[in-house]
Structure 1
C-alpha cells in the first residue's frame, strides 16, 4: 500500500471513530439551539378551532352598544346605529370578518338615508330588530353578501328582503316559527305558526286554529312592556311586573338541544296530547299569569325555558331543566320531573342586571360586570372548567346521540373577561360586550 493510500485510510478511520464516539456519548444537540432560518407560517382553515373555551375578543368590532345571537350569527349595533353581522367561520387567521348590514338595496358606499337600528333581538332563524323609528325589520344574515338583485350586479352588502311590518313598536321577539311585537300603547301583536296556541288568539269564529296566521292583536292582556318567544311558547311582562304565558313550553321535541325535533313548521301540539314523559302537549291559546313570582323587571327565552330577574336582582327560571340550566341538577331527578312547571329562584349569584337564555345554557350579568353561566358546556359555552357529569340521558350531546357533555347546574364565573355591560347566549355559543365597546365570544366557533 502506498504512503498516500495509508494516509487516506488513517484519516477515514479517524472520522468514523470520532463519529461513533459522539453517537455513544449523546444526547444529540437540542433543536432549539440550532439556528435556522424561520419558515413562513401557513395557517390552514381546517386547523381553525371548532370551539373556543376561553373568551376571545372579536377583531374589527368596535364602539358596539348592543349584541344578540340570531341563528349562528352574532349581530351587533354600534354607537352610530349601524348594524354588523359576524360569524367566526374558518378563514385565514381563524377570525372571520364582521360584515356591515345595509338596510337598503344598494351595495357599496354607505347610504346616508339607510335605516338605523335601535334594538336587536335573539332569534333562532332570521335576523330581527327595531329601527330607530320603531319599525320591525327582518333580514337574513347568511345573505348580506349576495349580489344586489336590483340595478347593479356588483357583489356587496345589501338587503332587498326587509319587511317593515308595523311602526311604533318598542319590543320584538322571534322564535323559529312565530313572532311577537309590542307597540307604544302596550298592546302585543303576533304572527306565524299557531299549532300550540303561541299566537294567543282565536280565528274569526272564536275557534282555535293551528294554522299560521298574519299579524293580529293578542287580546286579554294588560299593558305590556316586553315579550319573549320560545319554540312553541310566548311570554309577556306587564308594567306591574307580572309575567303572562301562552302556547306550550313542555313539547318534548325541545329535549337534547333540538336533536329530536320535527321538521320546521311541523305541528307539535295536539288536543289532549301527552308526551312520553307524561307532560302536557296540548295547545293553550289564552294568556295566563305565571304564578309564584315576585314583581319582575325583565324576561328572556330562546327555546324551552324562561329566565326572569325580579326587581331585587334575583334570577328565576322555569321550563326544561336540561343540563341543569335552571339551577337544578337533572342527574339527581327522575326524567319525569326534568320539566320545571313553577318558577324557581337560582341561587349562588349576587344581584343581577341581565340574563340571556341560550338553547341549553344561560348567561347572567351581575351588577359588578361579572358574567356567570349555567347549563351545557359541551362546546365550552360556559367559558369555565366544570365537573364532568356522565348521564347522557340528562345531557345528551347536541352533535351526536348517545354521547354525554359537561354541564353545571351551579352558576360558574366566566373568567378572563374585562368588566361587562351586555351578554348574549346562542345555541352553543356565548358573547359579552365590555365597557369599551368590544365584543368577546366563546363556545362553538364554527
Structure 2
C-alpha cells in the first residue's frame, strides 16, 4: 500500500467517529490538506463516517498520489483532501484495496473494478494499459468476487464459484507472487487460478510488495512470492508449519504480522528497521523443499500479557490495537509513521498518544498502515 487512501463512507446516527493520520504526507496521503510529513497523530475533519479504509457499502473517497490514475478521478493529479470517486455513485462498494500505483474495488453484486497503473498487467484487463477511471474486470463477469488484495505490482482476487473459494492472481510474477506456475513469469495480464489450494478453503487474502498470503478456514497461513528474511522465493503457496490458529495476517515488504484467536501477535521474517521485535531471534528453520525455506515465527515481544485485537503492517513498520484501545507501533520511523513525535526507529511496540483520546468500553479502534504512514479510526457508540 502506497500513497493512496480509499475509503467507504457510512452514515450512523448512533456512533461518533474520529480519524487520525500521521507519517509521510508529501503526496497528500494523510488527508490533512497539507503536503508535509507529520510526526504525531493529526485529527482529520471529515464530513462523513468511515466504514472501511485501504491505505494504499457506500460512497467511495480517495486521496493521495494519483500520478498513475490510481485515485479513480479520471486524471493523474495528486489530491491532498478526500474526494469522492464519481464513477461509484451508482454502485455500492463493499471491499477495496490500494496497491503501490493501482487500486481495486469489489461491489455488493460481486463485480471487480480496477484502475491505475497497468504496466505489469496488475489491473487484470488482458493488457498493459493504465486506466484513470475504475474499469470492470470482465474476466469475473460471471463470478462472485469476494475480495481483492493489491500488492506493489500484482493483484490477488478471492472468488466464490461452484467449486468453493478460488484464488486468482495477475500482474508481476517474477518473484512467484502470483502462485500460478512453478516457472518464472515476468507478468500476466489476465486472472489465472492459483495452483496451491485445490483442497483448501481460503477465507481471506493479503498482498504487499512482492509477497502474497492467504488464511484458510481452519486458521493456517499460506505464503508465496518473495521469501521472508532472504529465504528463497516460493512459486506456489507454502503452508506455515505452526500449530497456532491464525485469525488475521498483515503483510509488509519484508515481514508479516499474524494474530491468533487468543489475542497473541506473531511476526514472520524481517529484521530491517526493527520490524522484527527481537532481531536476534531470527533464524532459518528446516527447509520446506530444496528450493524453499521458512523464516522463523516469533511472538512479538514487549507486550507482556496484553491481548491484541487488530494488526497492521506498512512497508517496514508495524502497528496493533490492544483490547483496551491502545495503539502501539514499532519499526521504521523515518517519516514519523510511528506517531511518536520523532523520526526514530523502534525495536519494540510503543504506545501512541492520541489527542482527545477517549477510554471507554464503547470505543472501538482500528489501525491501518501505508508504506510510510498510519491511520487510526476510533468509533464511539452513543447508544445507551
Deviation at 1:161, TM superposition (A): 4.0
Structure 1 161/341 Cα, relative in aligned 2: closer, same or farther at 3 Å?
same
**Residue number in structure 1 paired with 2:290:** none
Counterpart selection for 2:263 from 296, 301, 313:
313
Point out the structure with max Rg over C-alpha. 1
The CA distance in 2 between the partners of 1:429 and 1:219, in whole Å, is 34
Does 1:410 find its partner at 2:348? yes
Name which of structure 1's ranges 130-139 and 158-167 shifts more when overlaid on structure 2.
158-167
Counterpart selection for 1:162 from 124, 135, 141:
135
Structure 1 309/250 Cα, relative in aligned 2: closer, same or farther at 3 Å?
closer
Deviation at 1:62, TM superposition (A): 2.2
What TM-score do the two structures reach when normalised by structure 1? 0.61
Deviation at 1:121, TM superposition (A): 2.4
**Residue number in structure 2 paired with 1:100:** 84
Q: Deviations over 1:344-395 (max 9, x none)?
A: 1103332122111101111101222221111112221111257xxxxxxxxx
Three-state SS of the structure 2 residue aligned to 1:182 is: strand
Does 1:347 find its partner at 2:301? yes
Deviation at 1:293, TM superposition (A): 5.1
**Residue number in structure 2 paired with 1:219:** 195
Structure 1 48/195 Cα, relative in aligned 2: closer, same or farther at 3 Å?
closer
The CA distance in 2 between the partners of 1:125 and 1:215, in whole Å, is 18
CA contact (8 A) 1:320 1:340 kept: no
The CA distance in 2 between the partners of 1:421 and 1:307, in whole Å, is 18
**Residue number in structure 2 paired with 1:384:** 340
Indicate the structure with greater helix content: 1
CA contact (8 A) 2:258 2:311 kept: yes
Counting matched residue pairs gives 301
Structure 1 48/169 Cα, relative in aligned 2: closer, same or farther at 3 Å?
closer
Structure 1 380/162 Cα, relative in aligned 2: closer, same or farther at 3 Å?
same
CA contact (8 A) 1:352 1:366 kept: yes
Does 1:325 find its partner at 2:275? yes
CA contact (8 A) 1:323 1:376 kept: yes
The CA distance in 1 between the partners of 2:350 and 2:65, in whole Å, is 25
The CA distance in 1 between the partners of 2:91 and 2:154, in whole Å, is 24
Q: Which runs of 4+ in 1 moved over 6 A?
A: 332-337
CA contact (8 A) 1:122 1:302 kept: no
Deviation at 1:61, TM superposition (A): 4.2
The CA distance in 2 between the partners of 1:424 and 1:230, in whole Å, is 13
The CA distance in 2 between the partners of 1:432 and 1:300, in whole Å, is 16
Counterpart selection for 1:171 from 147, 150, 171:
147
Deviation at 1:209, TM superposition (A): 3.7
CA contact (8 A) 2:158 2:205 kept: yes
Q: Residues 25-40 of structure 1: matches in 2 within 5 Å?
A: none
**Residue number in structure 2 paired with 1:285:** 235
What TM-score do the two structures reach when normalised by structure 2? 0.70
Structure 1 336/217 Cα, relative in aligned 2: closer, same or farther at 3 Å?
closer
CA contact (8 A) 2:240 2:294 kept: no
**Residue number in structure 1 paired with 2:126:** none
Q: Deviations over 1:306-365 (max 9, x none)?
A: 11101111111112221111212x5x689999x991211103332122111101111101
CA contact (8 A) 2:175 2:184 kept: no
Deviation at 1:49, TM superposition (A): 6.8
Q: Deviations over 1:399-440 (max 9, x none)?
A: xxxxxx611111111102444432111111110111059xxx
**Residue number in structure 1 paired with 2:169:** 190
Q: Residues 35-74 of structure 1: matches in 2 within 5 Å?
A: 50-70=36-56
Three-state SS of the structure 2 residue aligned to 1:121 is: strand
Does 1:363 find its partner at 2:307? no
Structure 2 unaligned residues grouped into runs of 5+: 1-27, 67-78, 118-130, 286-292
Does 1:435 find its partner at 2:373? no
CA-based RMSD of the aligned residues comes to 3.2
Counterpart selection for 2:97 from 121, 124, 131:
121
Q: Deviations over 1:156-209 (max 9, x none)?
A: xx964423352412222111221111122221111112212221122xxxx614
CA contact (8 A) 1:292 1:342 kept: no
Does 1:230 find its partner at 2:216? no
The CA distance in 2 between the partners of 1:363 and 1:215, in whole Å, is 32
Indicate the structure with greater strand content: 2
The CA distance in 2 between the partners of 1:196 and 1:61, in whole Å, is 42
Does 1:87 find its partner at 2:61? no
The CA distance in 2 between the partners of 1:303 and 1:169, in whole Å, is 26
**Residue number in structure 2 paired with 1:17:** none
Structure 1 336/317 Cα, relative in aligned 2: closer, same or farther at 3 Å?
closer
**Residue number in structure 2 paired with 1:208:** 183
